[in-house]
Structure 1
Amino acid sequence: MKILIYAIGFLFGNLVSSQEVFGEWKTIDDNTGLAKSIVEVYEQNGKVFGRIKKILKEDKRDVRCVHCKGDQKNQKVEGMLILKDLSKDKDKYEDGTVTDPENGKTYDAKMWLNEDDPNVLMVRGYLSFLYRTQEWKRIDD
Structure 2
Amino acid sequence: MMKKFKAGFLFLAAMMGSSAFAQDLLGTWQQIDDKTGSPKAIIEIRKDSNGTFTGKIVKVTPRPGYTPRDTCNNCPAPYTNKPILGMDILTGLKHVQGTNNYDKGRVIDPLAGKIYDAKVRINANGKRLTLRGYMGVSALGRSQTWIRQD
Q: TM-score range by the shorter chain?
A: 0.7 to 0.9
Give the alignment partner of residue 32 of structure 1, picking from 10, 33, 36: 36
Q: TM-score, normalised by structure 2?
A: 0.75
Higher strand share: 1
* Partner residue in 1 for 2:75: 68
Matches within 5 A, 1:5-84: 20-45=24-49, 46-57=51-62, 60=68, 63-84=70-91
Q: Residue 52 of structure 1: SS of its match in structure 2?
A: strand
Identity across the alignment (%) = 37
Q: Unpaired runs of 5+ in structure 1?
A: 1-15
Q: Unpaired runs of 5+ in structure 2?
A: 1-19
Larger radius of gyration: 2
| 2:109 matches 1:105 | no
Q: TM-score, normalised by structure 1?
A: 0.79
Instruction: List structure 1 segments (4+ residues) > 3 angstroms apart after TM superposition.
Output: none
| 2:132 matches 1:138 | no
| CA-based RMSD | 1.8
Q: Distance in 2 between matches of 1:68 and 1:35?
A: 22
Count of matched residue positions in the alignment of Structure 1 and Structure 2: 122
Deviation for aligned residue 1:112? 1.5
Q: Distance in 2 between matches of 1:71 and 1:113?
A: 29
Deviation for aligned residue 1:136? 0.3
Mean CA deviation greater in 26-35 or 130-139: 26-35
* Partner residue in 2 for 1:9: none
